[in-house]
A and B are shown apart, each in its own frame.
Chain A
């Protein structure tokens, strides 16, 4: 590819090639039946050109010399056609030209196909504990991703990643009532992730919990304490910190689709986003986290950046181009979902840093509240302010003790005030690394993966309610 790239010609001042090659394998079992195995081999390139202040791209899976040249010609034509019509005047001199290689944690290779089938069969079978269990599924997805970034100014970056994703879900039903429990862990690494996700044994555990939910009362309604476990903190961080801090939203790019933000540029440096216990970082350095990388898709080197410190908003999630537009320092987060989509500002790893409280101390401090885990429902307004989230699992807490399981736990609030009600932050013993595969945004649409690590967190005075 490098040799073919060197032979490309354009009248543009700057051009780049970004190659993505992904291999994805899926093993899944449902109701004790092995689903047909599938493998996806995806490979293509995006050529980008900058000329006279204009910018254009063209993506193709035709990797021949002629195919690459056609794509570069088209990208160059777009750059020429949009000069003086753009929101931004692009300047070839601003484009970085880094060189290097990076490999994320590759970990253990997967075992034989038969061993994976046996693993899935054990969990599927293990969930068959009661006639009220109506669906049992278990799956392992294996991804390998290689990215190459070349520019006519000399950049040459190669990055390699491996992801191993265990997944399971069990559903119980009685008449008009259905409840599910699921396991999902998204991290980088090899097959050792199956162990760290506590996948073995999950079938019976999830089935038991789904049956408990079936018999449980609805979550109580009222204003009370809310203890969010790390797998729900993931969603809370993602929707009500991550998206509002995306600089392209603040600059208006997403107003027609993903939305805008209640955050404005003047807030950085002074706005109280949360209580003094809230510390949030963009952290690409935690290697096992789902969206760790050394350079973003525009070639900017990635390093840890504090976004919120002691509750005060410090920096946005904005990549090089957005930083120049807004005049703000940001992060290396120009990311593309694949070779056929251009990079835009995205979340990557966005974490709440651990605090000092044990889980026991947090529970002991609650007079009346609910513990929630495992997101099942999410909805938030287009400025990322008014939200309502629901979880699979809830536990009522009274006078410092867990007193029973509740079903359909939901809560709602407003981002701008919710984080100020953060009363206790869990210590490192409560800290977990999670991630999500499908964060949707952009025009054309792009679904990217993000990492979110957090401790358990306790919020006071939250509007909580159940189903029905």
Chain B
């Protein structure tokens, strides 16, 4: 696909007229998706998609078209050449785009990560065998993700990764346990090990649940629970444009509000699995500190935002959301979490977070999957889904008691339109109090 994409770029470049600049972006994947319910197959299939964005620039104007490529060769070239012709016409009569900014210094790169993935049919055999007698629900998504960029200024970028993400949960009469097996090399033994661990945890949900009245409770958020919180913050929390237009949920940090000094958040592109380049050809820095010691740090600056507000672009995509987020570790050993929690809620997962008051960073959401009541450092009972409603400045500020020393790398299982390349490396967080309302 790489040679095909770059050949297509070369042919289209040769079709350009004087003063025109061409940018091409490829977003493709070959994926197998197998959906499971009750330890059996619900839907299985394969998807091959190859989306090409063609952008034409001339005299400070630009227009773009997105196409679905077909079988390659002449047919794809004809499709892209026709799009180019239509874009040429579209540029006529457009005003200059004052916020147009592309990378004009070629920064080519190649990144190919080959994985060890068995045929998806073999994965099905292994999962159905291993799940026998268990109520497993979830999805296996595996295959190759491809990203490409080319421009007529001589830049060529390629990113290819073979990966899988088996995102699943085990269900029993008392509740459910969430787990995942994700990475670049599928190992049946790792699946069996995780299934057994999840089964043991599921057994703990079999006892009578504890009902808690609304109010403040000491709580531990496991890395997957914290991932939901970070996911909400990623929605404009680190965006330079949101900051400039006063719509960031971290607005009050610009007016003096602070998080705990233990909170340092970094967009660590060098350690993620997302491409190192973006749609305007800019390359991401290896790391960018977004929150440093509880204080507002750098923002993610997309090229258009940079031009509009007189900032330096730093490789952010147009949406200015982090893709390789890291929260710095703390000092609490993971094995001591229950003892440090002493009495309170152990929360494995959060769910469906949103803002009660965005400007005040007040957040609501639900607990989901395995949540336990802990007394004297021992799990005593599961707790059903509860709603919290609390301020970020309390959760990761005055009420943050500790972060764990160990962190988990969590690969985003999201597959809207295509398989995500986002990831997060997070510790767990021990909170002195979390406010529950329902």
Contact = CB atoms under 8 A, between A and B. Distances in A.
- Whether chain B is bound by chain A comes out as yes
Interface of A: 31, 33-34, 36-44, 46, 55-64, 66-67, 74-75, 77-78, 81-82, 85-88, 113-114, 134-135, 171, 173, 175-178, 180, 251-253, 255-257, 259, 338, 340-342, 344, 376-383, 385-386, 388, 390, 408, 410, 412, 414, 440, 443-447, 466-468
Interface in B158-173: 167-169, 171
A176 B245 contact: no
Nearest to A446: B416
A81 B121 contact: yes
A443 B415 contact: yes
B185 interface: no
B38 A39 contact: no
Which range contains the number of B residues in contact with the other chain? Answer: 35 or more
Interface string B35-48: 10110111111111
Contacts of A466: 357
A24 to B, nearest CB: 8
Nearest to B171: A255
Contact of A66 (B51, B71, B389): B71
Nearest to B438: A386
Given A135-B247, A252-B37, A377 B70 contact: no
B359 interface: yes
Contact of A444 (B98, B128, B415): B415
A253 B139 CA distance: 10
A468 B47 CA distance: 46
B437 interface: yes
B364 A178 contact: no
Interface stretch (B3-11, B61-69, B423-431): B61-69
Given A59-B49, A444-B33, A67 B70 contact: yes
B213 to A, nearest CB: 14
B341 to A, nearest CB: 23
B59 interface: no
B366 interface: yes
B385 A382 contact: yes
Contacts of B141: 444
Given A43-B68, A443-B139, A408 B246 contact: no
B310 interface: no
B70 A135 contact: no
B19 interface: no
A340 B49 contact: yes
Nearest to B176: A255
Interface of B: 31, 33, 35, 37-38, 40-51, 55, 62-72, 75, 83, 86, 90, 93-95, 97-100, 121, 124, 128, 137-139, 141, 167-169, 171, 176, 178, 245-247, 251-252, 255, 308, 351-360, 362, 364-366, 368, 385-387, 389, 414-417, 437-438
Q: Is the interface of B mostly helix, strand, loop or mixed?
A: strand
A56 B44 contact: yes
Contact of A256 (B62, B83, B169, B252): B169
B42 A135 contact: no
Given A38-B66, A87-B40, A443-B33, A60 B48 contact: yes
Contacts of B358: 178, 376-377
A33, A36, A134, A256 — most chain B CB neighbours (10 Å): A256
Contacts of B353: 379
Given A41-B66, A78-B46, A85-B40, A412 B387 contact: yes
A256 B352 contact: no
A342 to B, nearest CB: 5
B75, B353, B438 — most chain A CB neighbours (10 Å): B438
A87 B41 contact: yes
B437 A412 contact: yes
B413 to A, nearest CB: 9
Given A31-B308, A38-B65, A379-B365, 19 more contacts: A34-B95, A36-B62, A57-B45, A60-B48, A62-B71, A87-B38, A173-B246, A178-B359, A256-B167, A257-B139, A259-B351, A377-B364, A378-B352, A380-B366, A381-B366, A410-B356, A443-B33, A466-B357, A467-B357
B43 A468 contact: no
A87 B37 contact: yes
Given A62-B48, A175-B255, A55 B43 contact: yes
B356 A377 contact: yes
A256 B138 CA distance: 5
Contacts of A42: 51, 66-68
A252 B38 CA distance: 8
A82 B247 contact: no
B246 A178 contact: yes
B385 A59 contact: no
A85 B65 contact: no
B436 to A, nearest CB: 11
30 contacts: A33-B99, A34-B97, A38-B65, A39-B64, A43-B68, A57-B43, A59-B45, A63-B70, A64-B71, A78-B121, A85-B41, A85-B124, A85-B128, A86-B42, A134-B247, A176-B251, A176-B252, A252-B171, A253-B137, A255-B176, A377-B356, A379-B365, A381-B351, A382-B385, A408-B356, A444-B139, A446-B416, A447-B417, A468-B357, A468-B360
Contacts of A180: 247
